[in-house]
Structure 1
Amino acid sequence: MPPSFDNKVALITGAGSGIGRATAIKLASLGASLALCDINYDNLESTKKQCGSVPTLLEDVDVSSKQEVEQFIKKTLEKYSHIDHVFNCAGVNPTSIPLEETTDEYWDKLVNTNLKGVFNVTRGVIPHLKSGSSVVNVSSISGIRGSAQQAVYCTTKFGLIGFSKCMALELGPRGIRTNVVAPGYIDTPTNAGIVKGGEAVTRMINGNALGRLGTAEEVADVVVFLFGEESRYMNGAVLEIDGGIKMSSTTAK
């Protein structure tokens, strides 16, 4: 019997496409009420249509902005009065750039979204989470092993794992769990390899033992598992969703 998320509220960042959208749709099918944000409001509206009739709040939010995040959380509480689960999925995927050619602007863009964004959301929701609540953050296989010419992206994803493990220790005594998913080669619209197409996609397909790309829905299944009772003793875990990755420099997620 599938888990039920009736009367549960899930806050999801980066819900306009890919893994964030797939997770919203999955949770909606299980009865959750949703608070969804993204920088692209049109994409959010498309996500909402695919979530059916469940209560849904949509908000245009840049997670790197403390003010916008706090306003989103405030509106979520005004609509639902509580928050049960948080999925920090908003992020910027990498561009391969040698470090000596990396600009301050590129550093700021990735760090402010991928790392500071998770900090902003997590800090903002903590006062409103109760025992039984949970947080799932999206890292990457690039947060576990380095990739040449992706130093900034890897820094954010390694850092996110460290941040999450600290939150697991800090919030665990309050009954609030924090876990991480680390996707590999996933077929999402923002995956740099998918955008390039051709040989880049072939390299990704051949880059894992299953010989195919993963889907956003397969990642969403793991996120929902981490929110559910079946994972109630998992805290500070990092789950690699990569099909059995091989050593490769191909872009992940």
Structure 2
Amino acid sequence: MGGQDGRTALVTGASRGIGRAVAERLAADGAEVAVHYGSGEAAARETVARIERAGGRAFAVGAELGTDGDIDALFTGLERGLAGRPLDILVNNAAAAPGGPIETDTPERFDRLFAVNVRAPYFIVQRALPLLRDGGRIITMTSVATRMANPGQTSFAMGKGALETMTMTLASALGARGITVNAVAPGATRTETNGAVFEAPGLVEFITGGTALARLGSAADIADAVAFLASDDGRWITGQVLDASGGVHLGLRG
């Protein structure tokens, strides 16, 4: 696809995992990427270094989402790096760890989850709108957890569901500017930072047994989906949730 030469992108939570893969893919397509991090400055600078070693352009921006002043801190760094240029692509990827089940959730954990996973993306979009060029892209990471019952992730899925509603309504609101607004919903995705999760006996077999493509996802799988929506090839798609799960829970495989 490519075609991002001369464009700029902000990827939140890009110091590791899926966010890092998205930042690297957009940079490989030609965009200059603002690599946001919360507390992992060293990891974010490694993402920048990896992009630069591959011939791309990037800069790091630090802001702890879910705290007072988070949006101001993020956009102070972003605008410094953009140096007067517009923003072309916004990827809301940063998220707090899953919450639930209801029996053990706490108001404090719930509030933290929604502050990072719902409030921050919403107000990042609000603050980005004056910077975002007409014809730009907004892509938000949600989850297949919104389309299945998993009591262990109740509050997490609630937050991701809110983002999917946000995606649909903002697509309608921003269509007049030619801005597309979409979401990508990963399934079980193995990255360099969550490998231990999949070491539980039988877990990988259980997940892949219910996945049409019979494997776990990779960060690159998700990054490629984001890159498509961010590209000119995705220009006629808006208000959609793109399932990037390999076909989890479609039913029995033939």
In structure 1, distance between residues paired with 2:242 and 2:142: 10
Runs of 4+ with >4 A deviation: 189-193
Deviations 1:217-241 (A, max 9, x none): 0110110110111111111011001
**Which residue, out of 55, 70, 82, partners 2:72?**
70
SS at match of 2:211: coil
Deviations 1:190-224 (A, max 9, x none): 55873553322332222301111011101101101
1:68 offset after TM fit, Å? 2.6
**How many pairs does the alignment contain?**
246
1:13 offset after TM fit, Å? 0.2
Paired residue for 2:11? 12
* C-alpha contact 1:177 1:236 (8 A) present in aligned 2: yes
* C-alpha contact 1:194 1:201 (8 A) present in aligned 2: no
Deviates more, 1:73-82 or 1:121-130: 73-82
In structure 1, distance between residues paired with 2:146 and 2:121: 15
Paired residue for 1:121? 124
* C-alpha contact 2:63 2:70 (8 A) present in aligned 1: yes
* C-alpha contact 2:62 2:73 (8 A) present in aligned 1: no
Matches within 5 A, 1:214-225: 214-225=217-228
Paired residue for 1:45? 45
Paired residue for 2:233? 230
* C-alpha contact 1:19 1:217 (8 A) present in aligned 2: yes
Paired residue for 1:106? 109
Paired residue for 1:28? 27
1:31 offset after TM fit, Å? 1.5
Aligned residues: CA RMSD? 1.9
Letter of the 1:91 counterpart = A
* C-alpha contact 1:66 1:120 (8 A) present in aligned 2: no
Q: Check if 1:85 corresponds to 2:89.
A: yes
Paired residue for 1:251? none
In structure 1, distance between residues paired with 2:219 and 2:149: 23
In structure 2, distance between residues paired with 1:195 and 1:46: 25
SS at match of 2:152: coil
1:26 offset after TM fit, Å? 0.8
Paired residue for 1:211? 214
1:247 offset after TM fit, Å? 6.8
1:115 offset after TM fit, Å? 0.7
* C-alpha contact 1:63 1:120 (8 A) present in aligned 2: no
- Any gaps of 5 or more consecutive residues in structure 2? none
SS at match of 2:139: strand
Q: Check if 1:183 corresponds to 2:186.
A: yes
- Any gaps of 5 or more consecutive residues in structure 1? 249-253
SS at match of 2:26: helix
